[in-house]
Structure 1
Amino acid sequence: MESFYKTLIRELMPETRKFTNEKEARNAVFEYIEMFYNTKRMHSALGYMSPVEYEKQHS
């Protein structure tokens, strides 16, 4: 989980990005996880497949 948080902060939150409220931050995190992290980002622990690709091959 700590590795995920480090990746989330590094990829979603460049030093110059600031959210104006909690809703904006929540939406950005949701979009990052559901639209990028789970569908496109390759993971070494999954044989360099995205979680969605991995699930399709192993279900």
Structure 2
Amino acid sequence: MLAKRIPEIQNKMELTDFYVDGGYFSGEVEKQAQDNGITMHYTDMTGKKPDPEKLPLTAF
């Protein structure tokens, strides 16, 4: 979904850098961003499963 919107967003805002949640990472997004002169920056939040060796925040 984001990959399809990048050209439209770029035309409206003339971005050079785009900061998004790590869940938006994909090869298609990266290619669209490069093709439109945008550097993508992702958070570390990629939706990975919790480490069973660590206590979750909900344990407190």
Q: TM-score range with shorter-chain normalisation?
A: under 0.3
Q: Larger helix proportion, structure 1 or 2?
A: 1
Q: Larger strand proportion, structure 1 or 2?
A: 2
Greater RCO, 1 or 2 (C-alpha within 8 Å, sep 6+): 2
TM-score (norm 2): 0.24
